[in-house]
Amino acid sequence: MIKSLLIANRGEIAIRIAQTASDMGIAVYCIQTNREANALYLDYADEIISLEENPNGSIFLNVEELIRICKENKIEAIHPGYGFLSESPYLASRCKDEDILFIGPDEKAIYTMGNKGMARNLALKSNIPVLEGSTSNITNFKDAKYWADKIGYPIIMKAVAGGGGKGMRIVRSSDELELMYKLVVNEAKSAFNDDSLLIEKYVENPKHIEIQILADKHGNAVHLYERECSIQRKHQKLMEEAPSTVLTNELRNKMGEMALYLCKKIKYHTLGTVEFLVDKDMNFYFLEMNTRVQVEHPITECITGINLIEQQIKTAVGEPLEFKQSDVKIKGWAIELRVNAEDVQADFSPTPGIIDKMQFPDCSYLRVDTGFESGKLIPPSYDSMISKLIITGNDRQEAIENAIAIIDNLVIKGVKTTIPFFKSVLNHPDYIDGSYNTSFISEKLDKPYYQEQDEEKAAAIMALQAYLKENQNIEKNMVHEDSSVWASKMRSKLF
As annotated, the active-site residues are 292
Residue pair 428/450 in contact (Cβ under 8 Å)? The answer is no
3-state DSSP assignment of residue 76: coil
Residue 144 to residue 142: CA distance in whole angstroms: 5
- Nearest C-alpha neighbor of 76 from the set 350, 317, 324: 317
Measured at the CA of 66, the angle between CA 65 and CA 69, to 5 degrees, comes to: 85
Strand partners, 353: 378
Angle at 239 between CA 43 and CA 366, to 5 degrees: 55
Nearest to 387 by CA among 339, 336, 334, 335: 339
Round to whole Å and give the CA distance between 336 and 353: 24
CA atoms within a 13 Å half-sphere pointing along the CA-CB vector of 424 = 18
Closest CA to 241 of 367, 333, 370: 333
Beta strands, E only, 291-407: 333-340, 342-343, 349-350, 353-354, 357-359, 366-370, 377-378, 385-393
C-alpha of 449 from chain center: 20
| Ranges assigned E (strand) in 100-216 | 101-102, 155-159, 168-171, 197-201, 207-215
Nearest-angstrom CA–CA distance, 247 and 207? 10
Which amino acid makes up residue 222?
Answer: V
- The Cβ of residue 34 has, within 10 Å, a number of other Cβ atoms equal to 10
